[in-house]
Structure formats: C-alpha cells, structure tokens
Amino acid sequence: MSINAGSERFYEFDVATQVQQVAAADIDGSVSYLTRVHSGWDIMGNANGGYLLALVGHALTQATQRNHCITVTVHYLAPCPAGEARIVVTPVRSGRLFATATASLLLQTDNGEKEVLRVLATLGNLQDESSGPTQMSQTLENHQPLIAPFEDCVSLSESATNNFAYIHDRLATRAHPGDIAFRDGEKSGVALLRGWFAFKDQRPIDTRALLLASDAFPPSVFNLNVPTGWVPTIELTVHTRAIPAGGPIACFFTTRYLQNGLLEEDGEMWDVDGVLVAQSRQLALAPRQK
C-alpha cells in the first residue's frame, strides 16, 4: 500500500482491477482493454470468480460510460490463473436509462489468447436518492435468519483456510460463528453462510466490490453432508440494487436445492444502513472431492 501524489490511496482491489483501453473502437463498436489477472485473489492458483467479474465489470463501466452493473451474468468457461489478459467489451444497446453490452476475458497463454469467461450485462446509473416505490418483505434489522454483529463473527483471514484460499489475505471478511464451524468438522446441516464482507486495507465498498463479495465466501453447501471440495460455478448473476454506504456488507448465502449434482446459491448483500445493495444467484456443480 502506498500514497500517491494526489493523496489517493492505492487500494489492493483497485490495483488488481485496473484496465487500460488500448485502441479506438472496432467496426462493431468493440473496445479492448489491457489488464492483468493478479495473483493473491485466487484459490489454489485459480482466480476467484467474483474477482474476475469485478475486473470485467470495471471495463464494462468504462466502455458504456455508466456507473453500475445493474444486472450482470457471467458464464465461466475455464479456470483462470494469474497473468496478462485482455477484455473485449462489445456494445449491444445504449438507451436513456440503460446500456447493454457483452464482454470477454481473454487470458494470454503460450498458445495465444484463451477466453476464460463471457459476460452479458445491463448497466445504468443508480441514484443515492429514492427513485421509485419501496416495499420490503424484511429489513436487515429483523432479517431471518439474523446475522451476528461484525465483532462477534469469525475472521476468515486468520485461519487454516488461508493455506489454499489466498484471496482471504486481501479481505477482512468474517463469518457467523455457527455457519463456518464446518472447518472444524461441525456442519450446521443447513446450507446457509452469513458473514460480513470488507477489505483488509479498508477500501470503501462500492458497487464494483459487490461483484467480488457475491462470490467471496466459502460455499454455503459445505454445511451439508458433502465433501468440502471444489464447487465449479457454471454461471453467476448479480443484481446491483443500490450504492452501498461504505462497509462492511452483511451477506447471506443459501442453497435450497442440491439436486442431481446441480445447486443454486442465492446471495443477499446489505449495507450498514440496512439498504439491500445486491442480490446474487449462481448455478454450480456439487462439490468434488479433491
């Protein structure tokens, strides 16, 4: 970490999600960005899916000149180790409220570029003030299930998890005590994982960070009678619902249905003011024994 001339701090997440436009737009409007998939945001050498989504999300906001990925879907095509890469953003439609675009992350390999993920997103500019009706089935304060306060939760970055989930060295993320006890062999029996998302270097949480948060916790299904192995995400969709007020972010991840080797994991993210800032859903394969 360091301080630059303008006194803006270089947060690790900002460094790891830098993108640089490399050329004028292509005939079809496509814009290319050079980037680097950074090490240290990985699990056993493969970049975390939420981190990769945040990286591409940054390019999408640049290319569409909109501030927020209102709804973004990523299909993961191949594991992605650290390395030089290119992001191609192709516009689909630009309207008054929203802009839709696709994006690809192409990793440089010895055999040329390899596409590791494909994204379809609609972006827009969320407002801080209210811009329409609100009727919530529950609030963060009375959320069922309840989440323990940040200070009563268990740090994920000071644990045996770090022997392979290096991403947690970057995060100050904590988990609800009973939900993470599977690490000590005590599975709760309910596919629920509550926790607080934050950065170790105290970077404020913005909507780009929410894309990381949506995939930064251990799978909630680890609390069921399954092996705690790799859970390959096929597809992840994140809805950004509001601009978060700093951090940490209260997160709730649940899997209702593990069926024939496929599972969904639903996420809710709330800021400290009790605003729903994002929802996520991913489709994944059942955990595989290492």
284 vs 264: CA distance, rounded Å? 6
> Cα–Cα distance between 185 and 94 in angstroms, integer?
51
In the three-class reduction of DSSP (H, G, I as helix; E, B as strand; rest coil), residue 58 is classed as: helix
Of the candidates 226, 225, 228, 222, which has an alpha carbon nearest to the alpha carbon of residue 265?
A: 222
CB of 57 within 8 A of CB of 76?
Answer: no
Nearest alpha-carbon partner for 219 in 200, 233, 204: 233
Query: Which residues are within 8 A (CB) of 233 and not within 5 positions of it... i.e. 6 or more apart?
Result: 49, 76, 215, 282, 283, 284
Q: Which is nearer to its own copies, 124 or 195 (CB)?
A: 124
In the list 118, 183, 187, 200, the residue contacting its own copies (rule: CB under 8 A) is 118
Least distance from C-beta 222 to its own copies, angstroms? 12
Query: Residue from 6, 112, 132, 185 that binds its own copies (CB under 8 A)?
Result: 132
Question: What length is written for the chain?
Answer: 290
Structure-block tokens of residue 216: 């930064």
Asked if 120 interacts with its own copies (CB under 8 A), we say: yes
Question: Residue 174 corresponds to which tokens in the numbers above?
Answer: 């904590």
Pick between residue 40 and residue 229 the one whose CB is nearest to its own copies: 229
**Nearest to residue 145, comparing CAs of 190, 197, 198, 210?**
190
Contact flag: residue 112 with its own copies (CB under 8 A): no
**Do the beta carbons of residue 266 and residue 253 sit within 8 Å?**
yes
Closest alpha carbon to 50 in 192, 170, 160, 193: 170
The amino acid that residue 200 corresponds to is: K
CA–CA dist 290, 189 (Å, integer): 21
214 lies in the binding site for its own copies (CB under 8 A)? no
Which residue, chain included where needed, has tokens 């095509």? Answer: 77
Contact with its own copies (CB under 8 A) among 6, 24, 110, 133: 133
Site for its own copies in 227-286 (CB under 8 A): 234-235, 237, 239, 241-242, 255-262, 264, 266, 275-276, 279, 281, 283, 285-286
Q: Which is nearer to its own copies, 173 or 255 (CB)?
A: 255
Q: Which is nearer to its own copies, 173 or 220 (CB)?
A: 220
Q: With respect to its own copies, which residue has the nearer C-beta, 93 or 290?
A: 93
Choose, by CB under 8 A, the member of 31, 52, 171, 224 that binds its own copies: 224
- Closest separation between CB of residue 68 and its own copies, Å? 11
Cβ-based nearer residue to its own copies, 174 or 239: 239
Tell me: does residue 70 bind its own copies (CB under 8 A): yes
20 binds its own copies (CB under 8 A): no
111 sits near its own copies (criterion: CB under 8 A): no
Site string for its own copies, 162-201 (x = CB under 8 A): ----------------------------xx----------
Q: Is 130 in the site for its own copies (CB under 8 A)?
A: yes
In the three-class reduction of DSSP (H, G, I as helix; E, B as strand; rest coil), residue 38 is classed as coil
3-state secondary structure 231-252: CCEEEEEEEECCCCCCCCEEEE
Which residues lie near its own copies (CB under 8 A)?
A: 70-71, 73, 75, 77-78, 92-93, 98, 100, 102, 115, 118-120, 122, 127, 130-138, 190-191, 224-226, 234-235, 237, 239, 241-242, 255-262, 264, 266, 275-276, 279, 281, 283, 285-286
